Amino acid sequence: MKAKARTIRSILWAIIALTVMSSCNQQKDEENISSKAVHMKVDSRPVKAELTAPPFVPKPVGNRAPQKLIVDMEIIEEEGDLADGVRYVFWTFGGTVPGSFIRGRVGDVVEFTLKNHPDNKLPHNIDLHAVTGQGGGAEASFVAPGQQKTFKFKLINPGLYVYHCATAPVGMHIANGMYGLILVEPVGGLPPVDREYYVMQGDFYTKGKHGDPGLQPFDMQKAYDEHADYVLFNGKVGALTGDGRLTAKVGETVRLFVGNGGPNLVSSFHVIGEIFDKVYIEGGSATNYNVQTTLIPAGGAAIVEFKVEVPSNLILVDHALFRTFNKGALGVLEVTGEENPVVFEGEVLEGIYQPEGPTIQKVPVETVAEAPAKVLTKEEKMELGKKVYNTSCFACHLPNGEGLANAFPPLAKSDYLNKNVDKAIDIVLRGLSGEITVNGQKYNSQMPAQVLSDQEVASVLTFIYNSWGNNGTEFTEEQVRAKR
Ligand code: HEC
Ligand SMILES: [Cu+2]
């Protein structure tokens, strides 16, 4: 009997020792992967890499062997929307901000061709953080407009890496949108999930203030001072809302490849209404579990994964929240499907805002200095009103006043708005709470009082009533003053 107990005990010890050793080995494997990868055999037949525009990513590598990947990337300088009505000249890798997503595996050899379109004005290059070699490829890839260059490198470290332009002034090239992500999958590939998306944060600096309409030039002084006018996901206010929103179904697993191009700001990446089941910290091999907010350095990345359990509108934010509600860093992941009261019961919209507490529901009321009385024309009100909308209303009512199902009523073609012209000023000055019905949908939430001057209130209401199919009412400063 005693002998048997001793045998069992020694077997147990052996198992414990083996487990400890194998986890040590696993760590060693991760540490040594780059020297192993150097010697990995590569299938010499070249394969053209699939490149995708955000928010999409190329197909997973699965368990294919290392291969020779041909990456063909074109630099395009072009004017586009920074926000609705705000234009900006972006410098891009592949025509989008962030640039095309590149996906390979450890051991792959990449033959990278960088082309600078002849219509461009400036030389550029590329520094890929996944490259071991001089400047991450920057020197080898330096191209003038109308020129192309090819260089070659082996992917020897797995992870999610940023690439960016490294032509002087480097900060300016990055601020204009020259960054993207390259994923190097580990041996055997990442575990499969149901949905994968590509999201990248960046900060922008414009001559005008946030929301100033028209073509906005880059502002070097603000960039130098790190005073961002816009902090964005995927290069535009509202890129990931409305038709651009991400989607998933209840029960699915979602993986977000999240990068931060900077140039200046660090991202406190958070998804309101979800918890990250797993985070590949800094895009490397270490994993953390059950994380609320993950820090993404400028020029860094993270992979976050979560299973969506209940239908809701998850809100992607930089939890430095003025960037979200005032500078544009807001995206939506719409989860549809069956309710699951075991996990969550109640109104969906409470799930969206509870984490931030009541602070966002109330704006401190201060006396606002009145601008010297200049009566604005309707055109001037429309212009100022649009600016006010993009700064003060956009975060909730979204681009083009489309609203968000179950959370924020639409202002576009709103029957409530058009019926209640006399209440509109009060709503903006004092906020609104209690149940209302807008276009047949019930909303029961709270809108905070807005701190705006009489002129701004009259202008934003004029703008809203004269946009998006509303009834064309014009408001005056006088009317607002009378209601204050
Ligand atoms: C923090 C989010 C938030 C902001 C910012 C915000 N609203 Fe609202 N707004 C709401 C919510 C929530 C409701 C619905 C309130 C309710 O259920 O009683 C609402 C309702 C309204 C309504 C009436 C309903 C409709 O759809 O016609 C108007 C008009 C309106 N808001 C205008 C504005 C204007 C103008 C601004 C900017 C100056 C603004 N809101 C800023 C959240 C917001
Ligand atoms: Cu450049």
Q: Are 307 and 253 in contact (CB under 8 A)?
A: yes
Task: Report which bound ligand comes closest to the CA of 99.
Answer: 2
Distance of CA 295 from the midpoint of ligand 2 (Å): 26
How far lies 169's CA from each of 113, 224, 436, in Å?
Answer: 23, 11, 52
pLDDT above 90 coverage of the chain, percent: 78
Contacts of residue 409, defined as CB under 8 A and 6 or more positions apart, other chains included, come to 397, 403, 416, 436, 438, 439, 441, 443
Atom of ligand 1 nearest to the CA of 416: 27
Task: Report which bound ligand comes closest to the CA of 179.
Answer: 2
CATH superfamily to which 43-185 belongs: Cupredoxins -  blue copper proteins (2.60.40.420)
- Any residues with Cβ below 6 Å from ligand 1, and which? 360, 392-393, 395-397, 408-411, 414, 416-417, 424, 427-428, 432-434, 436, 438, 443-448, 450, 460, 464
Distance of CA 447 from the midpoint of ligand 1 (Å): 5
Residue 55: asked if its preceding bond is cis (omega within 30°), the reply is yes
Pocket test for ligand 1, best of 386, 389, 392, 393 (most atoms within 8 A of CB): 393
- Give exposure, 288-308, as e/b (b: 16+ Cβ within 10 Å): eeebeebebebbbbbbbbbbb
Q: Are 137 and 128 in contact (CB under 8 A)?
A: yes
**What integer pLDDT is reported at residue 299 of this predicted model?**
98
**What integer pLDDT is reported at residue 391 of this predicted model?**
78
Q: What is the pLDDT of residues 332-349, one digit of tens each?
A: 999 999 999 999 987 545
CATH superfamily to which 378-483 belongs: Cytochrome c-like domain (1.10.760.10)
Q: In the CATH hierarchy, which top-level class contains the domain 195-361?
A: mainly beta
Distance of CA 380 from the midpoint of ligand 1 (Å): 23
pLDDT-derived band at 5, boundaries 50, 70, 90: low
pTM, two decimals, is 0.70
Phi (first) and psi of residue 378, to 5 degrees? -60, -40
**What integer pLDDT is reported at residue 398 of this predicted model?**
84
Closest-CA residue, ligand 1 atom 18, reads 433
**What integer pLDDT is reported at residue 366 of this predicted model?**
46
Token pair of 54, please?
């955000």
In the predicted structure, residue 119 carries a pLDDT above the cut 80: yes
3-state secondary structure the chain: CHHHHHHHHHHHHHHHHHHHHHHHHHHHHHHHHHHHHHCCCCEEEEEECCCECCCCCCCCCCCCCCEEEEEEEEEEEEEEEEECCEEEEEEEECCCCCCCEEEEECCCEEEEEEEECCCCCCCECCEECCCCCHHHHCCCCCECCCCEEEEEEECCCCEEEEEECCCCCHHHHHHCCCEEEEEEECCCCCCCCCEEEEEEEEEECECCCCCCCEECCECHHHHHHCCCCEEEECCCCCCCCHHHCEEEECCCEEEEEEEEEECCCCEEEEEECCCEEEEEHHHCCCEEEEECEEEECCCEEEEEEEECCCCEEEEEEECCCHHHHCCCCEEEEEEECCCCCCCCCCCHHHHHHHHHHHHHHCCCCCCCCCCCCCCCCHHHHHHHHHHHHHHHHHHHHCHHHCCECCCECCCCCCHHHHHCHHHHHHHHHHCEEEEEEECCEEEEEEECCCCCCHHHHHHHHHHHHCCCCCCCCCCCHHHHHHHC
Q: What is the pLDDT of residues 248-283, one digit of tens each?
A: 999 999 999 999 999 999 999 999 999 999 999 999
Distance of CA 437 from the midpoint of ligand 1 (Å): 13
In the predicted structure, residue 359 carries a pLDDT above the cut 90: no
Closest-CA residue, ligand 1 atom 5, reads 393
Distance of CA 73 from the midpoint of ligand 2 (Å): 13
Atom of ligand 1 nearest to the CA of 394: 5
In the predicted structure, residue 111 carries a pLDDT above the cut 60: yes
Distance of CA 125 from the midpoint of ligand 2 (Å): 6
Task: Identify the residue with better confidence: 23 or 126.
Answer: 126
CATH topology match: 195-361 vs 378-483: no
Q: What is the pLDDT of residues 401-422, one digit of tens each?
A: 998 887 889 999 999 999 999 9
- Other C-beta atoms closer than 10 Å to the C-beta of 460 total 26
Angle (CA) 81-85-90 rounded to 5° is 20
Q: Which residues hold their Cβ within 5 A of ligand 2, which is an ion?
A: 124, 165, 167, 173, 178
The residue-averaged pLDDT of 2-11 equals 66
Distance of CA 317 from the midpoint of ligand 2 (Å): 27
Any bridge partners for residue 254, and if so which?
Answer: 195, 306
Q: Which sequence spans correspond to the domains of the chain?
A: 43-185, 195-361, 378-483
Among 41-55, 77-91, 121-135, 445-459, whose mean pLDDT is lowest? Answer: 445-459
Residue type, 460: V
Q: How far apart are CA 356 and CA 97, in angstroms?
A: 29
pLDDT above 70 coverage of the chain, percent: 89
Closest-CA residue, ligand 1 atom 6, reads 393
Task: Report which bound ligand comes closest to the CA of 321.
Answer: 1
